[in-house]
Amino acid sequence: MLTSTTNDIFGHRIVRHIGVVRGITVRSRNLVSDAIGGVQSMLGGRVGAYVKLAEMSRQEAFEHLIEQARAAGGNAILAIRYESNEIMPGVTEVLAYGTAVVVEVGQ
């Protein structure tokens, strides 16, 4: 699956637009990450426990995005973006979305 944050993929011609696809995950913090994150935040700097959780959430949403594009018949996703919202304290939704397309391969 080719992916891009731009509206095209250099060297590939778009032959069909499929439409918007999305991948979503909802994650919650846990007691261990809260404890480690709390200590790290008191010391200042990077809060690794939360960075790891955020990265895992984005990766999971991205993988779901690719699954949706494949299921729709796409072989590429353009204009990929991420959004996140806190649903309730400690529970965050992460959304990855883009435009599924079919591009010519083998050029």
DSSP string across 26-72: EEE--HHHHHHHHHHHHH-S--HHHHHHHHHHHHHHHHHHHHHHHHT
Q: Does 78 or 35 have the greater pLDDT score?
A: 78
Percentage of the residues of the chain whose pLDDT score is greater than 90 = 64
Q: Which of 46-55, 69-78, 93-102 has the lowest mean pLDDT?
A: 46-55
Place 43 in a pLDDT band, splitting at 50, 70 and 90.
low
Place 28 in a pLDDT band, splitting at 50, 70 and 90.
confident
- pTM for this structure? 0.81
